[in-house]
Amino acid sequence: MKKNTSRLAADSTTNDIPSIAGVHPAPRHLAAGAFLFRQGDRTVGMFFLKSGRLRMQRVTPDGGTVSLHIVRPGETCAEPSLFSSRYHCDMLAETDAEVWLFPKKELVDSLRGNPESLWDFAGGLARGLQGMRQRYELKQIRSAPERVLQLLRLRCDDSGAYRTSGSLKDMAAELGLTHEALYRAMAALERSRRIRRSADLLQILPTKPE
């Protein structure tokens, strides 16, 4: 199973949960520590995470566990289940979570019969892959302040402003930093007058010519 997740390409909503090609998902509720599915389980479909946090992980031959990806609210996961008979990893709820299941057969049949929805769905997967690559590149930057600054460059509007949609803890996880390391990095950027912070708004400041 690939570790990529993507923002759902939706054609309508029911109770704030998007549908795909007219297929509406069914809710499932997980307690923290519960498995949505285990490696080797028969696939039943793909999922949309409404709330909480899921960890995609794989058990290695020597009994170890490798974390592959963290799924966050608003993302889909287990898309390869549409093409496979078995799940290739575990999906563990790190917190209490609300997930919605898109049944495999119903979704596959509907996408095959609806080229426009299939195209939208493929576009959502492509955008998810692009986001995954951006996160990977960010984590290759060794300096925490430069990593934060690069994220702001990627997400800011034309004025250099970025309005955070989640908590700073979520931003830290996306950057591969601890909460404390993120705060230190942002403080260093403020001291050097490279950013300005106010409430949920982060502003990149123009570099003064030397």
Q: What is the DSSP string of 168-202?
A: HHHHHHHHT--HHHHHHHHHHHHHTTSEEEETTEE
pLDDT score recorded for residue 8? 46
pLDDT score recorded for residue 15? 56
Give per-10-residue mean pLDDT for the chain (210 aa): 41 61 92 96 95 90 83 89 94 95 94 88 81 80 92 87 78 84 92 88 78
Phi and psi torsions of 139, nearest 5°: -70, -10
pLDDT score recorded for residue 210? 52
How much is the CA Rg of the chain, to the nearest whole Å?
A: 19
pLDDT score recorded for residue 10? 41
Query: How far is it between the farthest Cα atoms of the chain?
Result: 62
pLDDT score recorded for residue 130? 76
d(CA 31, CA 15): 22
Give, to the nearest 10 degrees, the angle between helix 104-112 and helix 115-139.
110
Q: What is the pTM of this model?
A: 0.66
pLDDT score recorded for residue 65? 85
